[in-house]
Amino acid sequence: MSIRHFLSRAVLASALTFAVTPAFAGKLFISGQDSDDGGHVSTSFGAQMLNFIGMGNTNGGTGILVLGGYANTSASSINSWNAGNAHTLTASSGAAAIALQSFAGFAGILMPSANTQTNGGISQAELDAINARATDIATFVNTGGNLMAFTQEGLTGSFGWFPLGALTTSSISTANISQTLALNAAGFSAADSEIAGDLFHNNFTGPSGFFGLQVLARDNDTQEAVILGGGVETQIATPEPASLALVAMGLAGLGLIRRRRAA
């Protein structure tokens, strides 16, 4: 086999490596509502949300890691959803703890609302620490862990932990929303009034296609997405450094061959 053919195959193989969606990626649920502010969703829907991230994972983990916040109103709401479900909830609060927290062994990660919207929610320092763990979050989801996040409206860098680039948002204040068929397909069963017992604080405006996430609920006034999610078909990983290095090496080699032929 010629060097040119070897390099061409190496580039193609590496491209396919990070283009293929992982077979066992976890489930995602990202909401523009401060659902953990008392009474914003029904207890039944809250229980379904915990079941969504606490079950159906394929990474072998158990229990839910509550990443940031989890105090006062936020903790009371989350705990009320868990009554009778008996998911083991593990809190990792404070920027220092989040920076060192291992994600291994958990079925799901739950990010409470921003503390600008819910008493006891995620602080700015905690969100900064979460954003710094973007690569670890991608690995967790793409190896079968589930993830749920509520509104981060009012904090700088909201949803900046999303590994393919931050989800962009705009501020809203509405409970006039409706679910899509995709929410039911994801395993939820609730009336719109149970989902929007109070206001949503941000919708999702981009990027186009939301990196493959599905729209689970919309703002009826603007038709913008207010809940995004996905099942096992969702991929949020960026190419691994080793794959990128192989692509770069292959492209450089092909370029050198072309220059020699031109000379």
Burial tier of 150 (Cβ tally within 10 Å: 0-12, 13-18, 19+): buried
**Over the stretch 58-70, which tens digit does the pLDDT of each residue have?**
999 999 999 999 9
Q: Give the domain extent around 245.
A: 1-22+238-263
Q: Whole-angstrom Cα distance, residue 239 to residue 245?
A: 10
Shared domain for 178 and 257, answered yes or no, is no
Residue 195 — very low, low, confident or very high, per pLDDT cuts 50/70/90? very high
Please tell me the total count of domains within the chain: 2
pLDDT above 90: residue 144 = yes
Shared domain for 258 and 157, answered yes or no, is no
Shared domain for 170 and 217, answered yes or no, is yes
pLDDT top residue among 258 and 163: 163
Shared domain for 192 and 163, answered yes or no, is yes
Shared domain for 199 and 232, answered yes or no, is yes
Do residues 31 and 177 make contact, with C-beta atoms less than 8 angstroms apart?
Answer: no
pTM strictly above 0.85? no
Determine the pLDDT at residue 155. Answer: 98
Shared domain for 211 and 254, answered yes or no, is no
Q: Whole-angstrom Cα distance, residue 2 to residue 105?
A: 46
CB under 8 Å to 154, separation ≥6 — which residues?
Answer: 114, 116, 117, 201
Shared domain for 155 and 253, answered yes or no, is no
Determine the pLDDT at residue 16. Answer: 33
Q: Whole-angstrom Cα distance, residue 193 to residue 13?
A: 49
**β-strands 225-230, 214-219 pairing:** antiparallel
Shared domain for 46 and 65, answered yes or no, is yes
Shared domain for 41 and 12, answered yes or no, is no
Shared domain for 67 and 189, answered yes or no, is yes
The domain that holds 87 is classified in CATH as: 3.40.50
Shared domain for 104 and 215, answered yes or no, is yes
Determine the pLDDT at residue 235. Answer: 57
Shared domain for 4 and 78, answered yes or no, is no
